[in-house]
Amino acid sequence: MIRSSEFAESFRIAVASLRANLLRSVLTTGGVVVGIFIVVLMGWLIRGLDSVWEQTISIIGRDMIYIDKWNWAGGRNWRLAESRKDVTLDQVMALADRMESPEYVIPMTRQWGGSISYGSKSLRTSIVGTDSDYGATPAGSILDGRFFTSVEDQQSSNVAVVGFGTAKTLFPDESAVGKTIKIRDIPYRVVGVIEKRGFLFMDFIDQQVFIPLRSFRAAFGFQGRSFSAAIKAGNERMLDVVRAEAVGTMRVIRNVPPHKEDDFAVNEMEAFDEQAKSIRFWIWVVGIGLTVLAFIVGSIGIMNIMFVSVTERTKEIGIRKALGARRSSILMQFLVESTFLCLFGALIAMPVAQIVVAAIHTIATSVYDFEAASAVSILIPLDLLGIAIFVSIIVGILAGIIPAFRASRLDPVEALRFE
């Protein structure tokens, strides 16, 4: 039976002991401070990653399906994909003609590492040939200027729409619109800049340059080139219907016999979710590893100082026992004290973590001009603080249990004799 009067007494002793040994206590809680700090920071990072990721994916649209030769997330299927026949532009156009359920079917092809230049600046990036419908999708949403038109596509005009990142690199201090860049030494007029879309490993999205398909043909040729069909379902609920229609239609177009597997890939945003999950997972693994390490070090420190405390207060334990303290009273006294020490550590760690979180947030939003970061709270969520407090209580109890047990078992006569 634990009496409230004893609990209050234990708490009072813990506070008094902390005040009496302030420096020692602060140093002792070091490991716990680090542990709590990592727990909070890790939790915040994962939350942030999730919400930024969700935002990024939803901007591009979860309702997008890409019919490609290559699987996005399938390193092991590489040989299989390589043996497939290219997806031709005619097949994509046939798909666009025949499909009824989607909002758009947009042909795309890509030149990786194509060189572009403006004045003396040049860079290699992904050059995408597509049609004007791309500008109607969220992925092609325009920040400045406009997307190229279907007329420009038909006339094979040398116009280009550049990604946010490319615009920043080539035109750091001026508007890109109206400038002339060179793609493969062919001059193109920049008509628009696309809004920032990517983050982390999706960064390449902002580096792309879009030109009309016909003009792409003039620059790079269609020979030996595989095309993709970017299909916008319209909304997520339509995804299954559109996917089924796309697969069925494409099998017919490519003459896939009924018993054979698809000889093309169906790529969706979920492929990227896998990557986000693995980043998330590694943050957890590293974070948990560091946290466990810090807490082991921390609890050894606390256990050690509790042994010191028990020894220092052997006489006091004897007095308390003589006056009627039961084993459980003494056990609780020292458990409360070790828990209190851990909570004290958490109390130190939290403002530090908050400052670091605020700093990361500020740097991410302003210095890196990373707009999506503003979707993440600059404050540590309350439930994370709750978890931190819970963990520190558990660590406090675990670290205190052996010293407290030893204290509770002291023989009162021996303890009273201790000087």
Partner 1 sequence: MGEEQVFALRDVSLQIGNNEYVAIMGPSGSGKSTLMNMLGCLDTPTSGLYTFKGQNVRTMSDDDLAEIRNREIGFVFQTFNLLPRATALKNVELPLVYSGVSADKRRERAEAALDSVGLGDRKEHKPNELSGGQRQRVAIARALVTSPSIILADEPTGNLDTKTGQEIMAVFEQLWLHGKTVVLVTHEEDVARYARRIIRVRDGLVESDTVTT
**Cα(152)–Cα(47) distance, rounded to whole angstroms?**
44
3-class DSSP assignment, residue 184:
coil
Question: Quick check: 324 binds partner 1 (CB under 8 A)?
Answer: yes
Nearer to partner 1, 3 or 85 (CB): 3
- Residues in 9-28 that interact with partner 1 by CB under 8 A: 9, 16, 20
**Measured from the CB of residue 294, what is the shortest distance to partner 1 in angstroms?**
32
Question: Quick check: 361 binds partner 1 (CB under 8 A)?
Answer: no
Piece of the chain touching partner 1 by CB under 8 A; list 6-14, 239-247, 278-286, 397-405: 6-14
**Cα(95)–Cα(106) distance, rounded to whole angstroms?**
10
Phi, psi values for residue 181, rounded to 5°: -110, 165
Nearer to partner 1, 109 or 329 (CB): 329
For the chain, give the number of residues.
Answer: 419
Nearer to partner 1, 7 or 72 (CB): 7
Residue with tokens 């070090």: 297
Instruction: By CB under 8 A, name the one of 151, 288, 292, 322 that touches partner 1.
Output: 322
Nearer to partner 1, 190 or 331 (CB): 331
Question: DSSP characters for 219-234?
Answer: HH-STT---EEEEE-S
Helix axis angle, 4-20 to 327-362, nearest 10°? 60
**Measured from the CB of residue 313, what is the shortest distance to partner 1 in angstroms?**
10
Piece of the chain touching partner 1 by CB under 8 A; list 54-62, 148-156, 236-244, 321-329: 321-329
Nearer to partner 1, 19 or 76 (CB): 19
Nearer to partner 1, 4 or 120 (CB): 4
Q: Helix H segments across 238-326?
A: 239-253, 270-312, 314-322
**Measured from the CB of residue 34, what is the shortest distance to partner 1 in angstroms?**
31
Question: Quick check: 328 binds partner 1 (CB under 8 A)?
Answer: yes
**Measured from the CB of residue 403, what is the shortest distance to partner 1 in angstroms?**
18
Closest Cα to residue 268, out of 318, 324, 229? Answer: 229
In terms of DSSP bridges, do strands 121-130 and 142-145 run parallel, antiparallel, or are they unpaired?
A: unpaired
Question: Quick check: 337 binds partner 1 (CB under 8 A)?
Answer: no
Instruction: By CB under 8 A, name the one of 59, 241, 296, 319 that touches partner 1.
Output: 319
Applying CB under 8 A, what is the total number of residues that bind partner 1?
25
Distances (CA, A) of 213 to 136, 247, 250, 310, 321: 16, 24, 21, 80, 89
Phi, psi values for residue 162, rounded to 5°: -110, 150
Q: Which residues here bind partner 1, judged by CB under 8 A?
A: 3-6, 8-9, 16, 20, 315-316, 318-329, 412-413, 416
